[in-house]
Amino acid sequence: MAVSQVFSIKTVRRAVATSAMAAVIIVMPALSAIVQAVEIKGAGATFPDLLYQEYIKQYRSANSKDRVSYQAIGSGGGIRQTIAGIVQFGGSDAGMTAAQQGQGEAGKRGIVLVPTAGGSVVPVINVSGVSDLKLSREALAGIFSGKVTKWNDAKIKDANPGLNLPDAEIKTVVRADSSGTTFIFVNHLATVDRYFKGSIGGSASTAPTWKVDGLKGRGNAGVASLVKQTPNSIGYVEYSYAKKNSLTEASVQDASGSYVKADLQKTNDAIASMSFGSDLQVFDGNPSKGYPITGVTWMMFYKKYKNAEEANAVKAWANWVLGNGQNLNNGLDFAKIPDSIVGQARSAVNQIGN
């Protein structure tokens, strides 16, 4: 074999080896990125689902590496999945009790509660010819405790002089699932009406024992759909669902006794008037300002995750929600969390590790 041929073969081998090495160098970062991508699964409250889906959409645009998802299954489901360790974070409009935080994976790994938004729960009606109805505290509580059963009941007529109300049975629509929206609604009625409080067993719940034999819808969307298609019905949904489905909202009495409907300003005012606890939870059934049936929704994170990569990804997501995420709240008719509470929530998020 000629020297030139040997040289040529060696040169080719070196070139191939160099090319292969370069390919490995180029591919490795891509493979590394794939390996390091973290899946962050969430599940829970339907109340903030419209907002959370927008959070996720915007977060993906800013951070394409990690994959965040959220399944709206109700606050009760979110709490159960958090206790079971099925998700990386849960969602609840009823917070999480000390007993719940001590159960299962929640008890083993610890819980960080992060308030994300405030929202209003509104009574929505489907009564032919009625577009502006006032419901006193007594009337609204009476409807959902079974004391007020017809639309022309005196307790409704008294607040609506001149309004032609039908002599028709009231068809109530409540949640079929364990619901934080129900908790906020029931918490208000139990706060302002003693009889109603007794009718559900004395305290607010995500799944109360109703004294009315009504229709049941799954999620806010399910209740909204049933009200829309059922004449002479009344239900309760988060404000943005009422707007989205063009439902007729009834006016209710605020802390001063005035009749009001929900809007963004009243929701913000109500949240701003609430006193959060050291655990960042608050359940004010009759806020001194703003819309009276208003509550907070939370994400429930663990203090400990399986490894540093997952912990860091979850922490980044939580901090984004408390930062850029808050700027999305008002645009979807949710209240922002007050700045002072956001600061406390960031300190709580710092507890997340592995």
Radius of gyration of the chain (CA): 26
Tokens 């109530």 belong to residue:
172
* Cβ atoms 227, 125 nearer than 8 A: yes
The Cβ of residue 16 has, within 10 Å, a number of other Cβ atoms equal to: 10
Beta carbons of 284 and 274 less than 8 angstroms apart? yes
pLDDT digits (tens, 9 = 90+) for 130-182: 999 999 999 999 999 999 999 999 999 999 999 999 999 999 999 999 999 99
Mean pLDDT of 101-118: 98
Query: pLDDT tens across 169-204, in order?
Result: 999 999 999 999 999 999 999 999 999 999 988 888
What's the confidence (pLDDT) of residue 77? 96
**Mean local confidence (pLDDT), 14-25:** 47
Measured torsion, CA atoms of residues 149, 152, 158, 164, in degrees rounded to the nearest 10: 150
Look at residue 152 and give its three-state secondary structure. Answer: coil
Q: What is the mean pLDDT of the chain?
A: 91
Query: What pLDDT shows up at residue 20?
Result: 45
Distance between CA atoms of residues 331 and 81, nearest Å: 29
Contact 52, 79 (CB under 8 A): no
Per-residue pLDDT averaged across 295-312, rounded?
Answer: 98
Q: What pLDDT is recorded for position 33?
A: 44
Q: Pull the structure tokens for residue 163.
A: 């309004």
CB-based contacts of 1, cutoff 8 Å, min separation 6: none
Q: Which domains does the chain have, with CATH numbers?
A: 39-119+295-349 (3.40.190.10), 120-272 (3.40.190.10)
Determine the average pLDDT of the residues in 228-251.
Answer: 96
Q: What is the mean pLDDT of residues 246-250?
A: 98
Mean pLDDT calculated for residue range 245-259: 97
Evaluate if residue 1 carries a pLDDT over 60. no
The two structure tokens encoding residue 287:
């806020």
Look-up of token digits 């903030």: 48
